[in-house]
Chain A
Amino acid sequence: MSDEGETVRLDDMHFEGPELDIGVPPPSVPYADHEDWVADALLEANGIPLTEEGVLEALRTQENVLLGAAAHAAGRHGYSGAADRLREVARGPDDYAGVEAAFALARLGADEGRELLRAALDRPVGPYLSPLLAAGDAARLGDPSGFVHIREGLGSDLHAVRMLACKQLAFFLPFEGNPLPDGTMVDARAQLERALADPDPGIRAQAQAQRPAG
C-alpha cells in the first residue's frame, strides 16, 4: 500500500504467450469458417484436445488467446456442457474472449449469447477491439446492427481496427441495403471497395480475399 505521491516500484512481470504458429488453413476452408479453423488449430498447437472435456478444461484454466479459442471451439463443436463456464467467460474481464464466449453461447442456442453480443457493441472501438468481433459474429447470426462499427472502424487511424473491421465485411454482404439503427443502410459492398483502396496493402489483400466471385 502506498501513500499519495509516493511512487511504488512493481516487480517485473514475464509473460510467455502460447504457441501461435499454426500453419495455413487448407484452401478448402471457406472464408466463413476461417476462425473455426484457427481456434481448433490454436488449441491443438498447444496440446489441448478438441474433446468437450479438453475444451472445458481450457475454459477453466486458460486465458487470453487460448481462452478465446476454447470459447470459440465450444460453440463450433456444440459443447453444451460448457455453457455455464461460457457464461462466466462472457462476463469476465477479458472482453475479447468474452465476445467469443457470447458467440459460442448463441451458437449453442442460447438467446443470452445474442444479447451479450449486442451489449459488447456498446464498448468504444479503439480502446477495445471486441466490438468489431461482436459485430461480425452478430451478423453471422443474422443481426447486422453492428455494421455501424465496421464502417467507423474502416476509417480508423489504427491498423488493427481497420483490419479487424475489414475482416468482418463478408458477413455483412448478405444484408446489403438493410436498415441500421442509426438510420443508414448496410453498404457492405461500398465499404469493401473502400477497403480495397486502403493505403495499407495488407488491408487491401484482406478485402480482396472477401470479394464476391464475379
Chain B
Amino acid sequence: MPQTHVEQPDAALDAARQRAPEPPAPDPRSAHVLALQRGAGNAAVARLLVPPAPVADDHRIAFTAVIRRSDAPPAPAATGGGALAAASDHDAAPGNEAEGTIDPGAVTAALQSSAPPAEASSSAEGERVALPDMRVPPELVPPDTDPVNSTITYSGSVAQSGTVSPFGATSWATFNVTGATVTPNSGTFVATFTLENPITYNVAAGGRTHITSENDAALTNANYATAASDLTPNMSDLGGRPPRTSFWAQDLTLRHEGFHANERRGFASAGASQAQTWLNTQTASSVGDVQTLIAQVPGRVITASQASAGTVAVKEARAYGDGAPLYKARADAITAKGALGPSGGGYP
C-alpha cells in the first residue's frame, strides 16, 4: 500500500529525505491507478486522483544509525502482541472506522524473513557490509476502506402459482437484486439497487371436496354434518385450524396462504430496510467488496423475516385466527340449513 503521509520525527531525517522520481500525471483510467485502487482501496486512490496540491506518494527516508557493539545476541523481535488499531487511512464517518490492525511484531518478523541473514562475524572492522533489501508483505497492512451508503428499494409481489402439497404453501425466499449501481465517491461508496421478492402461494385439495357455501351442491343430508365439522375451526389447535378430513374450503385456504404471503411481504420489506441499515454500517475497499456485501442482503432479509414471524405455532395461529370467523360462519350456516331437514328446506 502506498504510504501517503509520513510523520517526520526528526528534522535531520527530513533533510536527508530522498524524493522519489515524479510520478506520472494521474490518469484516472490508467492501469497504474486501477491497480492502486485494487490494492489500496478507493479512499487512497481518491486522494491520489484529486490531490489538493502536488504531493509525492512515495517517500524514502535515509537512516544513519550508530549501534553499540555487544557480544550478546540481540533480543528476539516481539511477535504477536500489541496490534495497532486502525493504522491505515480512513475516510469513514465516526463509528464506521474499519477494524484493520497492524501487528508490529508480525511486521518485524516478516522483514527479517524477507531477507537472508547476514553472515555473522564475516566483516572486518571498518568494512562496510551491504545488507539485503527487506520488504513488508502488503497483506500485513490492512487496506483503506470507505463506508457504504446504500439505498435499497424493496419490490415485493404476491401471486398465486405453483404446485404445492395439501393444503397449501407459500414460497417467499426468492430474491433478485436488479439495477444495482455502485459509485465510488470521495470517502464513500454509494450503492443503490432494487430487491425484488416474488412471493408465490397456492393450495391443494388433497382429495377433499370443496364447499363454497352452505348452498354448495355437494352437500347432502347425509354428509352435511361431517362438512360442518370439517370446516369448524378447532380453537385449541393453532388458533383455529379446521380438521378438514373430507371437506375443505378452497377460498378460505387461499385466504390463509394469502395471509402468509402478505405477511411475509411486510416482513421482507422491513427486513430490507434493516439490511440497508446494516449495509450502511459496513466498509469496503473496492466495488467488488460492495458487491459481496450486497450479495449478503437476501440472506439477511430472510433472517429478519424469520425473526419477525416468531415461532412456527405462533405464526400459524395468526393465519388460522384470521380465517377462523369465516370458517365458523360457513360451518354454522351448513349446520343451520341441515337442521331444517330434507323436507324443510335443508339438504336433499
B308 within 8 A of A: yes
- Say yes or no: A93 contacts B238, CB within 8 Å: no
Which of A1, A4, A13, A23 is close to B295, meaning CB atoms less than 8 Å apart?
A: A13
A47 within 8 A of B: no
B313 within 8 A of A: yes
Nearest residue, chain B, Cβ from A130: B303
Docked pose: A38 CA to B271 CA in angstroms:
21
Docked pose: A163 CA to B182 CA in angstroms:
33
* Chain B interface helix/strand/loop/mixed: helix
B221 within 8 A of A: no
Given contacts A38-B312, A160-B267, is CB(A1)–CB(B286) below 8 Å? yes
Chain A residues 162-197 with CB under 8 Å of chain B are 163-164, 166-167
> Which of B73-81, B129-137, B166-174, B212-220 lies at the binding interface?
B166-174
Docked pose: A203 CA to B298 CA in angstroms:
24
Task: Quote the shortest CB–CB distance from B123 to chain A (angstroms).
Answer: 48
Chain B residues with CB under 8 A of A163? 307-310
> Which of B11-19, B38-46, B62-70, B339-347 lies at the binding interface?
B38-46
Docked pose: A96 CA to B21 CA in angstroms:
50
- Say yes or no: A4 contacts B299, CB within 8 Å: no
Which of B46, B295, B306, B311 is close to A206, meaning CB atoms less than 8 Å apart?
A: B311
> Which of A14-22, A113-121, A138-146 lies at the binding interface?
A14-22
Q: Mark A54-80, 1 if CB is under 8 A from B, else 0.
A: 000000000111001000000000000
Which of B50, B176, B271, B302 is close to A65, meaning CB atoms less than 8 Å apart?
A: B302
Docked pose: A12 CA to B291 CA in angstroms:
10
Docked pose: A124 CA to B277 CA in angstroms:
11
Docked pose: A22 CA to B169 CA in angstroms:
10
Nearest residue, chain B, Cβ from A16: B174
- Say yes or no: A159 contacts B298, CB within 8 Å: no
- Say yes or no: A5 contacts B184, CB within 8 Å: yes
- Say yes or no: B181 contacts A7, CB within 8 Å: yes
Which of B172, B178, B309, B315 is close to A12, meaning CB atoms less than 8 Å apart?
A: B178
- Say yes or no: A5 contacts B185, CB within 8 Å: yes
- Say yes or no: B299 contacts A94, CB within 8 Å: yes
Chain A residues with CB under 8 A of B171? 21
Chain B residues 159-218 with CB under 8 Å of chain A are 169-186, 193
B296 within 8 A of A: yes
Chain B residues with CB under 8 A of A132? 307
B34 within 8 A of A: yes
Docked pose: A15 CA to B173 CA in angstroms:
8
A213 within 8 A of B: no
- Tally of chain A residues near chain B (CB < 8 A): 54
- Say yes or no: A1 contacts B310, CB within 8 Å: no
Given contacts A64-B303, A202-B318, A209-B311, is CB(A158)–CB(B274) below 8 Å? yes
Docked pose: A73 CA to B174 CA in angstroms:
24
- Say yes or no: A8 contacts B49, CB within 8 Å: no
- Say yes or no: A12 contacts B169, CB within 8 Å: no
- Say yes or no: B267 contacts A15, CB within 8 Å: no
- Say yes or no: B182 contacts A205, CB within 8 Å: no
Docked pose: A1 CA to B169 CA in angstroms:
43
B118 within 8 A of A: no
- Say yes or no: A20 contacts B177, CB within 8 Å: no
Nearest residue, chain A, Cβ from B169: A21
Chain A residues with CB under 8 A of B318? 201-202, 205
Which of A11, A31, A127, A164 is close to B307, meaning CB atoms less than 8 Å apart?
A: A164
Chain B residues with CB under 8 A of A124? 281
- Say yes or no: A8 contacts B173, CB within 8 Å: no
Of A5, A160, A167, chain B has the most CB atoms within 10 Å of the CB of A160
Chain A residues with CB under 8 A of B179? 12
Chain B residues with CB under 8 A of A16? 173-174
Given contacts A63-B299, A127-B278, A160-B271, is CB(A206)–CB(B184) below 8 Å? no
Which of B169, B193, B238, B311 is close to A167, meaning CB atoms less than 8 Å apart?
A: B311
- Say yes or no: B238 contacts A96, CB within 8 Å: no
Residues in A lying within 8 Å of B, measured CB to CB: 1-18, 20-25, 31, 34, 38, 63-65, 68, 93-94, 96, 124, 126-129, 132, 158-161, 163-164, 166-167, 201-203, 205-206, 209
- 18 more CB-based (< 8 A) A-B contacts, given A4-B185, A12-B177, A20-B172: A2-B37, A4-B28, A4-B184, A4-B186, A10-B294, A13-B180, A20-B173, A22-B312, A25-B312, A65-B299, A126-B277, A160-B305, A163-B307, A164-B307, A201-B318, A202-B310, A202-B315, A205-B314
Task: Report the 6 A-B pairs with minimum CB-CB distance, sorted nearest first.
Answer: A17-B173, A64-B299, A15-B298, A10-B180, A13-B177, A127-B278
Provide 20 A-B residue pairs closer than 8 Å at the C-beta atoms, listed in order of the A residue: A1-B34, A2-B183, A6-B183, A7-B183, A8-B182, A8-B184, A9-B180, A10-B193, A15-B295, A15-B299, A17-B173, A17-B175, A18-B173, A21-B169, A25-B312, A34-B312, A64-B298, A126-B277, A160-B308, A205-B314
